[in-house]
Amino acid sequence: MYDPDGPIAPDSSLFGLPHSFEEAHVIVIPVPFDATVSYGHGCAGGPGAIRRASCQLDLLDQTYGPIHERGIHMLEIDDAIRQRSIDARAMVGPFLERGEIPGAEIIERVDAICEEVRLWVRSQVARVLGASKLPIVLGGEHAVSLGAIEACTEGPAPATSILQIDAHMDLRQAYEGLRHSHASVMWNALDARPDLRLVQVGIRDSCEAEHGVASQERVSTFFDETLARASFGGAPFGAICDRILEDLGETVYVTVDIDGLDPSLCPHTGTPVPGGLSFRELMHLLGRVFQERTVVGCDLVEVGDDEWDGNVGARVLYRLCAANMKV
């Protein structure tokens, strides 16, 4: 019999919970794909690291209560997606690791694999939305978010805004020749939906071309340096959250790239950058967004395949579930 206060075997389901797809309120969709990462790699193992670490969490959330009772279910990690990541990385990885742009044929083949993954994620998220449940995509690299965003902007209550927690803008039209690069996911999302708003928080690594895209009226960027100056000037973080919320529409898709946090919390993410949000700041912001807006879907991406990274990632994931299921 399931005991939420008892020990959990390390090979158990996510958080050791017994819920089926039909019973659960939140469905976690693991996407073990990291073919286009341009610096460190290994986030394809993020879903597995998070699942293993989740067995060490105590489940009574201090803010939201015994939310596990409403049910969280993680789909099985898809071996075919994992293999597609391995195949694509084998083609493009040697070039990216040398700082070279692959030839046109390799780019075409890798982009085609990325397109397969986009469509797969989109279909999985659409299925969850169709069952009136909250989808949370668990990457994997940030490129896997695109299919989820597309499904959530076309679902029963379409998202009108994206809240992006990230160290990077991800607004390149393409990167290293790849149209479906992790560095292009927000450009692709905006390009697909001209009416979609984007609110970025924690940005501290970007290029000039991305700033041109971010100058659009529908993009609001809260740079890490700007947040730090406000804090040093005495502004409480709650007031900063007020400003962030002002720029969000009523229905929101939340994408959390773990590198938006201080890198001491995610040292094995692919592209860590000094600075970033503290764990508590992220928890407060997410709580405000779930309380004051309608969140129709989420993702957590770029978590490294490491015990500590998995531990932090599992706690971020649990709070994403908890904030939606507050009792």
Rounded Cα distance between 42 and 249, Å, is 34
Whether 11 shows a pLDDT value over 80: the answer reads no
Whether 96 shows a pLDDT value over 90: the answer reads no
Q: At 180, which amino acid appears?
A: H
Rounded Cα distance between 143 and 35, Å, is 9
Q: What is the mean pLDDT of the chain?
A: 93
**Mean pLDDT score, 256-276:** 97
Predicted confidence at residue 284, as pLDDT, reads 96
Domain ranges of the chain: 14-324
Predicted confidence at residue 327, as pLDDT, reads 44
**Count, residues in the chain:** 327
Distances (CA, A) of 317 to 207, 240, 245, 293, 306: 30, 23, 21, 19, 16
Closest CA to 95 of 44, 53, 36, 139: 36
Do 151 and 125 touch, CB atoms closer than 8 A? Answer: yes
pLDDT confidence tier of residue 1, bands split at 50, 70 and 90: low
In the chain, % of residues over pLDDT 90: 80
Predicted confidence at residue 299, as pLDDT, reads 99
Predicted confidence at residue 28, as pLDDT, reads 98
Nearest 5°: phi and psi at 12?
A: -75, 175
Q: Higher model confidence: residue 285 or residue 10? A: 285
Predicted confidence at residue 177, as pLDDT, reads 84
- Residue 137 bridge partners (DSSP): 29, 299
**Mean pLDDT score, 245-257:** 97
Least confident stretch, 97-106, 268-277, 297-306? 97-106
**Mean pLDDT score, 206-224:** 94
Predicted confidence at residue 242, as pLDDT, reads 98
Closest CA to 159 of 290, 255, 292, 294: 294
Rounded Cα distance between 182 and 2, Å, is 39
CATH class of 14-324: alpha beta
**Alpha helices of 5-143 — where are they, by DSSP H?**
46-54, 79-97, 104-130
Q: Higher model confidence: residue 325 or residue 117? A: 117
Predicted confidence at residue 326, as pLDDT, reads 59
**Mean pLDDT score, 161-181:** 93
**Mean pLDDT score, 170-188:** 91
pLDDT confidence tier of residue 99, bands split at 50, 70 and 90: confident
Closest CA to 308 of 52, 33, 17: 52
Rounded Cα distance between 85 and 33, Å, is 5
In the chain, % of residues over pLDDT 70: 98
Rounded Cα distance between 189 and 290, Å, is 22
